[in-house]
Structure 1
Amino acid sequence: MVARKVALSFKQMKQLTSSFPPAEDLMIAALTTPEGWRLLQEYPCPSPSEAADIAKHLRKQHPADLVAALQTQWNLREKAQEKLDSEAKNKLFTRDGLEQATRKIVAAQRAKRFAKADVTSMIDLGCGIGSDSMELAPLCPDFLAVDISPAAATCAAINLSEISTAKVFCENADNLTSQKTLPALFVDPARRAAVGRVLSPDSWSPPLGKVLEWEKRSPQLAVKMAPGIDLAYLPDGYHAQWVSVDGNLVECALYSPGLAPEGAGRSALVICGRQVKHYRCSTACNPGEDHVQIPQAATLGSYFFDPDPAIIRAGIIPDLCEELGAAPVSTGIAYLTGDSLPSEQDSLGFHCYQIVENLPLKAKQVSSYLRSQQVTRLDVLKRGVALDIAAWRKKVMPKRNRDWSPRTITVALTRVGGAHRCLVLVAVK
């Protein structure tokens, strides 16, 4: 997608944010002054190679703290392109807002749920800098984004300025959820406090229990949560979906029946590049049910499968085992082994390797093998063993001989049938 240039004048920007309290973020406060806004429009996102020279030039004419704020925003815009693509060059971010922002491709998948439910009126509560709102608002003629933080609301108002039907409020969620009926809701509770991450959903702002009560007055409710949430907090009748992007587990989202045509239970949304695949857990009728455990393999097969973390968290290992004709390498370990390769279409949810050696997990034997293979680099997978990988790698890696050509191998340190083993692997394309 080609980035659309946001060319808001200072007057237009102030009209969007005039009802908000002063921004608590010093960078946002500096950049939304007449001088700061003019500089940001003139120098929206220079390349890293140019930024230092531009900043040096600007410090001769402008306050150092303003130039520092500008540099910080350039860095955030550069980093934000990993999540939001090139359009991030013209958006406004806070540090915390960018860290918590939903990736564009994930937000687009979520927006499809609201579109399929024919949602025409909705509120994004806890919108942050507006990353989800940017995908939801174009689909909804009556759209409201809300955040209690003046700095976040300022960013959201600017980032949504090209969507004429979107409104942004700086409000406490309680002020907007007191009426008898509510529109569709997307809620991203605050999960951070002054001391760091808040793990208990009872301590989120607003608490998860309170959010779930709103579903009684809303036809559709979606809640973004940390992917490590305890299954015990997930209510019956809802659908929970864990999402990974390029192998990184990024979120869990909870959907009420009005947004879950697949029904109650659990699923995984696996995204690799531009490829997207849904995996449904066939063993869970409700999201909070315990994972079904599969007996370990009787013997080690020819192949080794490392499932995507979203599949593991969603409890889809039994379905994957059935699909692959595989089983866990050991009881309770989410590495699988089998003798059949999947089709390319079905392989998005896991990495597949051929097992070429099965060694005892003993430093001398592993080191001897690596020396015999003239290994110069070691990639390590680990699950089910308590080892410091950095220290272990130093212990087993042979000293490189000048005559050796660069060679990398992959090993999995795990349990096989209960015994600690080092499996030497070759990736299957």
Structure 2
Amino acid sequence: MDPASIRPLVDPAGWALLAQLPPYDAAQALALGTALRETGLDADLVAAALTQSRLRARAVGKFGDLAQDMLFTPEGLEQATRLTVAARHAHRFRTAGATHVADLGCGIGADSLALAGLGMRVLAVERDPATAMVASVNLRQLPEARVVTADAFAVDLEGVDGVWADPARRTSSGRRLHELADYSPAVDALLDLRARIPRLGLKLGPGLAHRDIPRDAHAQWLSVAGDVVEADLWFGDLAPEGAGRSALVVDAAGTGVTLAGAGDPSSPVEQADAGPVGSYLYEPDGAVIRAGLVARLAADLGGHLVDPTIAYVTAPAPTATPFATGFRVLDAMPFSLKRLKSYLRERDVGVLEIKKRGSALDPARLRTQLALRGSASATIVLTRIAGAPRVLVVERLGAGTDVRGPVAPPEES
């Protein structure tokens, strides 16, 4: 984004225009823009204000009501840390005793906002001029934070006792990067900083491969309301858990719980046993899967996998857990379109939830092929068991269903 498109909004007239805009409505945006230009407002200013109005509406999911007092770039908003998550990052730094943190690649300033909000001095470094300008606006009320437009490795870190970095994981054209060597700032160079500043934290993509994790790191995958949003590497005092891998599962209310495994974080994933489908099925949270802790979860549930290659856990008894979604298994059968259609129609099913893991079937196409018209609802799981395609008919634990089935472990036929 060109800094020239941001600068007019920082001026009093631009800021006042933003404050006067109604809640963003895509259907009314064109007409609103026309009406504003007809009042004599500059066309570029109107376009910039409407763009910010649209971005603010999108940002509410990450920043809540605070979004209405912030500026954004499209790329910056895409990568920005959710405010509730940024608060967790900042809490780690404060608990570790950090007083002056460098936020390298600060983006629009979300993590700097949380760090400064907890009273730490923050050196917020951003290479892109437009994004740095946005960060300056977003941090304007926090004198503890100073924004510098520069390369991450061109700034003086004298006096800094903690480093946080969120390297860019997309190209300028928006293409997602998968290799750590391609991130910006370079991950290897960031890792070298821990020799000078042991309190180092890195935010990386959730697709982080275990083999790429330094042995002295605590690697934590974090999910929010079921969506895996990031993988963080923590070093030194920022990792009181010690080296290892963990999953932090945060619910919609912001409450978080952790499932952890100690040891070399780059080590192979422990494999759980596999066996027959029991009375209950558990779908592990994505953070648990990414962290390689499915075997640990299966042991805690007193269960095993339905297939050695599929991350579904089955158990003989229900167990409350925040690390997986639980289902009661009502029935199980080999996959057959004709048989499944007959089964569901016999039970008057018209509303069908289709879940899948390890299946090549397209749920949208299957739904069309089933052509259900009933009044009842049901949930099915498409998966593989012992290498063969299977259908499990289930109901969520704690939820009712109109399809009735056996409580005992289902027998396939």
Query: Do they fold alike, i.e. is TM over 0.5?
Result: yes
Given residue 273 of structure 1, which amino acid in structure 2 is its aligned partner?
A: A
Distance 2:11 2:122 in 1: 28
Map 1:227-242 → 2, pairs under 5 A? 227-242=206-221
Given residue 278 of structure 1, which amino acid in structure 2 is its aligned partner?
A: V
Kept after mapping to 2: 8 A contact 1:189/1:206: yes
Equivalent in the alignment of 1:17 = none
Q: TM-score, normalised by structure 2?
A: 0.90
Pair 1:39 & 2:13 matched:
no
Kept after mapping to 2: 8 A contact 1:281/1:315: no
Distance 2:315 2:324 in 1: 13
Pair 1:418 & 2:387 matched:
yes
Map 1:155-304 → 2, pairs under 5 A? 155-176=134-155, 182-195=160-173, 196-282=175-261, 284-297=262-275, 299-304=276-281
- Quickly say closer, same or farther: Cα 1:203–1:381, change in 2 above 3 A: same
CA shift, 1:158, in A, is: 0.8
* Secondary structure at the counterpart of residue 118 of structure 1: coil
Distance 2:84 2:126 in 1: 22
1:299-333 deviations in Å (ceiling 9; x for gaps):
21100100100011111112111111011111121
Return the match for 1:327 from 304, 313, 324.
304
- Quickly say closer, same or farther: Cα 1:79–1:317, change in 2 above 3 A: same
1:103-160 deviations in Å (ceiling 9; x for gaps):
1111111111111101101110111001111111122442111100111111111111
Distance 1:365 1:46 in 2: 50
- Quickly say closer, same or farther: Cα 1:202–1:82, change in 2 above 3 A: same
Same amino acid, percent of matched pairs: 38
Given residue 365 of structure 1, which amino acid in structure 2 is its aligned partner?
A: R
Question: Unaligned regions of 5+ residues in structure 2, if any?
Answer: 399-413
- Quickly say closer, same or farther: Cα 1:167–1:51, change in 2 above 3 A: farther
Kept after mapping to 2: 8 A contact 1:326/1:337: yes
Equivalent in the alignment of 1:106 = 85
Pair 1:129 & 2:116 matched:
no
Distance 1:269 1:72 in 2: 34
Question: Unaligned regions of 5+ residues in structure 1, if any?
Answer: 1-22
Distance 2:250 2:191 in 1: 28
How many residues align? The count is 395
Distance 2:189 2:46 in 1: 42
Kept after mapping to 1: 8 A contact 2:103/2:164: yes
Kept after mapping to 2: 8 A contact 1:121/1:140: no
CA shift, 1:379, in A, is: 1.3
CA shift, 1:60, in A, is: 0.6
Equivalent in the alignment of 1:338 = 315
Return the match for 2:330 from 356, 367, 388.
356
Distance 1:77 1:426 in 2: 38
Return the match for 2:286 from 309, 321, 326.
309
Given residue 226 of structure 2, which amino acid in structure 1 is its aligned partner?
A: G
Given residue 190 of structure 1, which amino acid in structure 2 is its aligned partner?
A: A
- Quickly say closer, same or farther: Cα 1:232–1:30, change in 2 above 3 A: same
Pair 1:57 & 2:24 matched:
no
Q: TM-score, normalised by structure 1?
A: 0.87
Distance 2:194 2:71 in 1: 32
- Quickly say closer, same or farther: Cα 1:269–1:58, change in 2 above 3 A: same
Distance 1:119 1:388 in 2: 50
Distance 2:306 2:348 in 1: 28
Kept after mapping to 2: 8 A contact 1:146/1:169: yes
CA shift, 1:178, in A, is: 7.2
Distance 1:30 1:243 in 2: 37
CA shift, 1:33, in A, is: 4.9
Distance 2:102 2:119 in 1: 10
Given residue 18 of structure 2, which amino acid in structure 1 is its aligned partner?
A: L
Distance 2:337 2:8 in 1: 57
- Quickly say closer, same or farther: Cα 1:93–1:336, change in 2 above 3 A: same
Given residue 201 of structure 1, which amino acid in structure 2 is its aligned partner?
A: L
Given residue 311 of structure 1, which amino acid in structure 2 is its aligned partner?
A: V
Given residue 245 of structure 2, which amino acid in structure 1 is its aligned partner?
A: R
- Quickly say closer, same or farther: Cα 1:50–1:416, change in 2 above 3 A: closer
Greater CA drift, 284-293 or 118-127: 284-293
